[in-house]
Amino acid sequence: MAPRDEWSVGCRDLAGRRRDVTVFVSSDKIVLVAPPGEAAVLGPLDVGRLRAALRDAVVAVAEHPDHSE
């Protein structure tokens, strides 16, 4: 696995508390973990960060030796 296979994006829940959405690579899949039992509320900059994390995760999966399409 590449050295960076996990990314965290700040967000808020519906009550306004700070939370994180985590993006990580598991084998040849990309996993998104939202705050447990919550909705993730993202502002425009946070959406950009989530997009970048997903893009980086896709690159990590494509470079993974077990990747097959």
The count of structural domains within the chain is: 1
Question: In terms of residue numbers, what domain contains 20?
Answer: 4-62
22 in a structural domain: yes
- The pair of structure tokens assigned to 52 is 């970048």
Question: Per the confidence metrics, is the pTM higher than 0.85?
Answer: no
> 68 in a domain, yes or no?
no
Helices first, then strands: H and E counts in the chain: 1, 3
Segment 6-41, tens digit of pLDDT: 999 999 988 999 999 999 988 888 899 988 888 888
> Could you tell me if residue 19 is inside a domain?
yes
Residue 69 forms part of a structural domain: no
Is position 18 within any domain? yes
| Residue 45 domain-assigned (yes or no) | yes
- Asked if the structure places residue 49 within a domain, the reply is yes
Element (H, E) at 45: helix 44-63
21-58 in b/e form (b: 16+ CB < 10 A) is bebbbeeeebeeeebeeeebebeeebeebbeebeebbe
